[in-house]
Amino acid sequence: MTDFQTIADRVEIEALRGEFSDAAMMRDRVRLASLFIPDGALRMPNIPAELIGREEIRAGGERLQAQWDFFVQNTHPGTIQLDGDTATGRTYIQEIARTLDGRQGINFAIYHDRYQRTPEGWKFAERVYEVRYLDESPLAGSAPRGTRSSTVA
């Protein structure tokens, strides 16, 4: 990995993955959708949800996020395999959440990703969410009152 373009591509893809988690946690659905190519896909079989295209991703994010009392997603480095203007990779995720109806838990998951280089930089072509561990035991802690993230456009 001595080619500067390869290094730049890897850094940009890693930043893209971080932007996804930040947009999700900040409830910035417009930004979250903009991280995908126009016909990109976000597939979450365990929810179940399959969102195709930026508008569905934005609207689907709005529906899901409206259910949260709180949500924290930690993104951990995974793999990236570059192939010209496309790439594949995995991102490792740890999440803790509680919904307004009282469902709660901690999980560990993987995003199986396909990336596409665009004139605006690297974007997601597809993210497939796979939960590997789920603990729905009552959470010992809680979100401090008054800190629930506001909804962003």
The DSSP bridge partners found for residue 134 are 107
- The pLDDT of 70-75, averaged and rounded, is 91
- Would you give the end-to-end CA distance of the chain in angstroms? 39
Tell me, yes or no, whether 58 lies in a domain. Answer: yes
78 vs 93: CA distance, rounded Å: 9
Give the chain's length: 153
Tell me, yes or no, whether 115 lies in a domain. Answer: yes
Q: Tell me 139's DSSP state.
A: P
46 vs 151: CA distance, rounded Å: 24
Which pLDDT does position 35 carry in this prediction? 98
- The pLDDT of 58-72, averaged and rounded, is 91
| Three-class SS state of 84 | coil
Expressed as residue numbers, the domain containing 23 is 4-135
Tell me, yes or no, whether 153 lies in a domain. Answer: no
Which pLDDT does position 152 carry in this prediction? 44
Tell me, yes or no, whether 44 lies in a domain. Answer: yes
pLDDT single digits (tens) 15-58: 999 999 999 999 999 999 999 999 999 999 988 899 999 999 99
Q: Which range in 1-5, 64-68, 147-151 is most confidently predicted, on average pLDDT?
A: 64-68
Which pLDDT does position 148 carry in this prediction? 53
pTM: 0.89
Q: Is residue 151 scored above 90 in pLDDT?
A: no
Tell me, yes or no, whether 52 lies in a domain. Answer: yes
The contacts of residue 23 (CB under 8 Å, 6+ apart) are 29, 31, 32, 35
What's the total number of domains in the chain?
A: 1
- The pLDDT of 96-115, averaged and rounded, is 95
Please say whether the beta carbons of 37 and 65 come within 8 A: no
Tell me, yes or no, whether 105 lies in a domain. Answer: yes
Tell me, yes or no, whether 29 lies in a domain. Answer: yes
Cβ neighbour number for residue 19 with a 10 Å cutoff = 17
Tell me, yes or no, whether 146 lies in a domain. Answer: no
Q: Is residue 71 scored above 80 in pLDDT?
A: yes
CATH number of the domain enclosing 88: 3.10.450.50
Ramachandran region of residue 28, left (φ > 0), alpha (ψ -120 to 50) or beta? beta
